[in-house]
Amino acid sequence: MNLFEISGLKKNFGDRTVLNINELTLQTSKIYAVLGPNGSGKTTLLRVLNLLLAPDSGWIKFMGGDIGISQADRLSVSRQMCMVFQRPFMFRSTVFNNVAYGLKLRRVAKPECERRVNEALDFVDMVDFAKHSATRLSGGETQRVALARALVLQPRVLLLDEPTANLDPGSVQHIEEIIRKYHQEYNTSVIIVTHNLFQAKRIADESILLINGEVVERAYTAEFFDHPRELRTRQFLDGTMVY
């Protein structure tokens, strides 16, 4: 089944076009890695998919249906996905309350809320931190809480914006394990923006290269890295591309 169908999507910031995607279809239950140099539109693509930014033209279908323009329609779509940011913001409260935030917005009953928060914290190995202040965690811990805060909502799609940037190798491995495990257990679709080519190789089913807002190549990850079709992909992977 198609998760997202994108057609004629354009997003401008002032005079600059940051996204210009003719056609792109993403399927459910897969892990996609979105690669590309800085300023290629990767994060903008995630924000548009998460309905945080409105495109200037084109359309996006989610799970085969158009996304309505009313606030209620957009809310019902956006509640089926969740984004984890490169530098997650922790609300000034405990780790528990941070993870419970989305459930409270959805008015989930207290006993169920507690059970799901504890499960999510257990999933990311942060149960012992439940009562700690969320603003006093290390980078790796913060990222794990941010993941738990998203996973607890059991989204259909998880949008990850460089979730392991600035983390040490141990923390990177830990986060990748969590993503892989969650994807396997819950069949959740994952779209991960990363600068780490090895990470894309390790966890993604398919890889997509964006340059200047355009999709240059999209292929199964093994094929993408071993037999890239496009010259710009080869240059990007070789590190010979001058941006």
Partner 1 sequence: MEAAVSSLFAQKMEILEIVKMSLQVSGSATLLSALIGIPLGAWIGLSEFKGKRLLLRLVYTLMALPPVLAGLLVYLLLSRSGPLGFMELLFTPTAMIIAQCLLVTPIITGLVSAGIAAKEGLIFEHAISLGASKTQATWTIIKEARTGIIAGIMTGFGRAFAEVGAVMLVGGNIRHMTRVLTTSIVMETRQGNFEMGIALGIILLLLSFMVSSIVLSNAEEFSLK
Instruction: Give the interface with partner 1 as residue ranges (CB under 8 A).
Output: 47, 50-52, 71, 75, 78-79, 82-83, 85, 88-89, 91-94, 97-98, 101-102, 105-106, 149-150, 153, 159
- Please identify, using beta-carbon distances, which residue of 94 and 171 lies nearer to partner 1: 94
Least separation in angstroms between CB 224 and partner 1? 28
- Please identify, using beta-carbon distances, which residue of 89 and 220 lies nearer to partner 1: 89
- Please identify, using beta-carbon distances, which residue of 21 and 84 lies nearer to partner 1: 84
- Please identify, using beta-carbon distances, which residue of 72 and 242 lies nearer to partner 1: 72
Long-range contacts (CB closer than 8 Å, 24 or more residues apart) made by 7-15? 7/58, 7/59, 7/60, 8/57, 8/58, 8/59, 9/48, 9/55, 9/57, 9/58, 9/59, 9/60, 10/55, 10/56, 10/57, 10/58, 11/41, 11/44, 11/48, 11/53, 11/55, 11/56, 11/213, 12/56
Least separation in angstroms between CB 55 and partner 1? 16
> Could you tell me if 111 and 119 are in contact, meaning their C-beta atoms sit under 8 angstroms apart?
no
Least separation in angstroms between CB 149 and partner 1? 7
- Please identify, using beta-carbon distances, which residue of 98 and 207 lies nearer to partner 1: 98
Pick from 146, 151, 219, 163: which is nearest to 188 by CA? 151
The residue written with tokens 């059991």 in the block is 154
- Please identify, using beta-carbon distances, which residue of 91 and 186 lies nearer to partner 1: 91
Least separation in angstroms between CB 89 and partner 1? 5
Least separation in angstroms between CB 222 and partner 1? 31
Cα separation, 127 vs 216, whole angstroms: 42
Least separation in angstroms between CB 171 and partner 1? 21
